[in-house]
Chains A and B, each alone.
Chain A
Amino acid sequence: MSDTAPAAQFPDLSGLRVLVVEDDDDGRRLLIEVLEFAGATVAAFSTAYAALDELNNVQPHVIICDLALPRLDGLGFLEALRSHSDPKIRQTPMIAVTAYSDLYGPKELISLRCEGYMAKPLSLDRVCTAVQKLALAS
Chain B
Amino acid sequence: MKRRFKTLLRMNPAALTFAAILVALIAFLVEVPILDFIELKTYDLRFLSRGQRPPSPAVVMAVIDEKSLDAEGRWPWPRAKLAALVDSLSKAGARIIAFDIGFSEADENSQLAILDQVSKRIDRSKANDRKLAEFVEQSRQHADNDARLAESIRRSSAPVILGYFFHMTKASLNYGLTPDELERRLKLLAKSKYPAVMSTTPNLDSVPLIKAYAPETNLPALTEAAKASGFYTLRSDWDGVLRWMPLVIRIGDDLFPPLPLLAAWQYLDRPGLTVRIESDGVQGVQMGDRFIPTDERGQLLVNYLGPANTFPYVSVTDILHGNVPEGTFKNRVVLVGATAIGTHDLRTTPFGPVYPGLEVHATVIDNIVTRSFMARPDWSKAYDIAAIVLLPALIGIALPRLSPLRGVLAFVVLFGAYILVTRSLFVSGGMWLNMVYPLSALSLNYTALTAFHYLTEQRERKRIKGTFRQYVAPLVVEEMLKSPGGLKLGGEEKVLTVLFSDLEGFTSHSERYTPTQMVEMLAEYYNHVTEEVFKHQGTLKEYVGDELMAIFGAPLEHADHAERACAAALAMRERRLALATEWGPSGRPMLHARTGINTGPMLVGNLGSRYRFAYGVLGDQVNLASRLEGLNKVYGTDILLGENTARVVEARFLLREVDMVRVKGRKQAVRIYELLARTGSSLPPELEKALAAYGQGLQAYRQRSWAEALELFTEALAIRPSDGPSRTMADRCEGFLRTPCPEDWDGVFDQLFKG
Contacts and interface: CB of A to CB of B under 8 A. Distances in A.
B420 to A, nearest CB: 37
A116 B544 contact: yes
B476 interface: yes
Contacts of A126: 542, 549, 617-618
Nearest to B525: A110
A57 to B, nearest CB: 26
A26 B545 contact: no
Contacts of B610: 24
Interface string A106-138: 110011010111111111111001100110010
A33 to B, nearest CB: 6
A2 B667 CA distance: 9
B523 interface: yes
B132 interface: no
Contact of B539 (A24, A115, A119): A119
A103 interface: no
Contact of B540 (A6, A10, A119): A119
A117 B549 CA distance: 10
Interface residues of B, number: 54
Given A6-B617, A106-B530, A130-B544, A125 B473 contact: yes
Contact of B483 (A33, A107, A111, A121): A33
Contacts of A110: 519, 522-523, 526-527
Nearest to B619: A1
A10 B384 CA distance: 55
B617 A123 contact: yes
B609 interface: yes
Interface in B110-133: none
A39 to B, nearest CB: 12
A123 B616 contact: yes
Given A37-B475, A113-B519, A116-B545, A122 B480 contact: no
B612 A121 contact: yes
B668 interface: yes
B746 to A, nearest CB: 15
Most chain A CB neighbours (cut-off 10 Å) among B491, B515, B609, B664: B609
Given A110-B522, A111-B523, A124 B543 contact: no
Contact of A137 (B523, B545, B611, B666): B545
B526 A24 contact: no
Contacts of B479: 33-34, 37
Nearest to A25: B611
Contacts of A27: 611, 613
Nearest to A129: B544
Contacts of A105: 530
Interface string B742-755: 00000000000010
B106 interface: no
A121 B613 contact: yes
B474 interface: yes
A121 to B, nearest CB: 3
A24 B472 CA distance: 22
Contacts of B483: 29, 33
B346 interface: no
B507 interface: yes
A124 B617 contact: yes
A95 interface: yes
A67 to B, nearest CB: 12
Q: Which of B527, B613, B615, B618 has the most CB of A within 10 A?
A: B613
Nearest to A8: B665
**Most chain A C-beta atoms within 10 Å of own C-beta, residue among B515, B542, B616, B754:** B542
B604 interface: yes
A85 interface: no
A26 B472 CA distance: 18
A129 B523 CA distance: 22
Nearest to A32: B483
A127 B264 CA distance: 84
A121 B604 contact: yes
Contacts of B520: 111
A114 B185 CA distance: 108
B541 interface: yes
A83 B63 CA distance: 97
Contact of B613 (A4, A10, A30): A30
Interface string A3-24: 1111111100000000000001
Contacts of A122: 613-614
A40 to B, nearest CB: 13
A13 B506 CA distance: 24
Contact of B665 (A9, A34, A124): A9
Nearest to A125: B617
Interface in B595-624: 604-606, 609-620, 622-623
B523 A121 contact: no
Interface string B504-546: 0001000000010001101100110010000000011111110
A50 interface: no
B615 A30 contact: yes
A101 interface: yes
A107 B487 contact: no
A4 B614 contact: no
25 contacts: A1-B471, A1-B619, A2-B667, A3-B667, A4-B623, A24-B611, A26-B609, A27-B613, A30-B615, A33-B483, A95-B544, A101-B539, A106-B530, A107-B523, A107-B527, A111-B523, A115-B544, A121-B614, A122-B613, A123-B614, A123-B617, A124-B476, A126-B542, A126-B617, A137-B507
